Amino acid sequence: MKEEIIMAGSGGQGIMFAGTLLAHVAMEEGLNVTYFPSYGAEMRGGTANCKVIISDENIGSPIVTNPSTLLAMNESSLEMFTPKVKRGGLIIVNSSLLKKEIETDDVEILKIPATELAEKLGDSRVANMVILGAYVNRRKIVSLERTVDSLSKVLGEGKKNLLKLNREALRKGEKYR
């Protein structure tokens, strides 16, 4: 098994945190993992993406050119990375920020109104966890329970106040298949 993922959005949408959490969970489950972040020139509002590879075998390179999965938090990321997704792959997109339809017929598309769902939970900043919860539940490469449990380790002591909200967001995303 080898899963190559690109997570992409704007700075401030929690792309790097979602990638870090996924990589951490994969390591805890005894899988091999690489995590490769990429930031645009600006931190907040600029482009941000990370590439995560999860495998039960050794990983030769952290470079992802044709991902099996794309998690797109905004429309510009969707446009940029959709052509790179492998035929038969999966795109999970934050449909709350989509203005036009996705044009592709060789990949599966899961649209989730992640920002709207996060706002209903009380904070739009957890849209990343809604998307990640959907991904984890859909692909079943790592367990959702371990993902929820690992939040406290990845958030750290200084952000314990965000633990409950992030857990709720992962659970909300879990319902989307």
CATH number (domain holding residue 92) = 3.40.920.10
Number of domains in the chain: 1
pTM above 0.75, yes or no: yes
- Residue 129: give the domain boundaries: 2-174
Looking at per-residue confidence, does 38 or 22 come out higher? 22
- pLDDT band for position 161 (50/70/90)? confident
Per-residue HEC secondary structure of the chain comes to CEEEEEEEEECCCCHHHHHHHHHHHHHHCCCEEEEEEEECCCCCCCEEEEEEEEECCCCCCCCCCCCCEEEECCHHHHHHHHHHCCCCCEEEEEHHHCCCCCCCCCCEEEEECHHHHHHHHCCHHHHHHHHHHHHHHHHCCCCHHHHHHHHHHHHCHHHHHHHHHHHHHHHHHHCCC
The per-residue pLDDT for 45 is 58
* Digit-coded pLDDT (tens) for 50-88: 999 999 999 988 889 999 999 999 988 999 999 999 999
* Digit-coded pLDDT (tens) for 96-129: 877 777 777 799 999 999 999 999 999 999 999 9
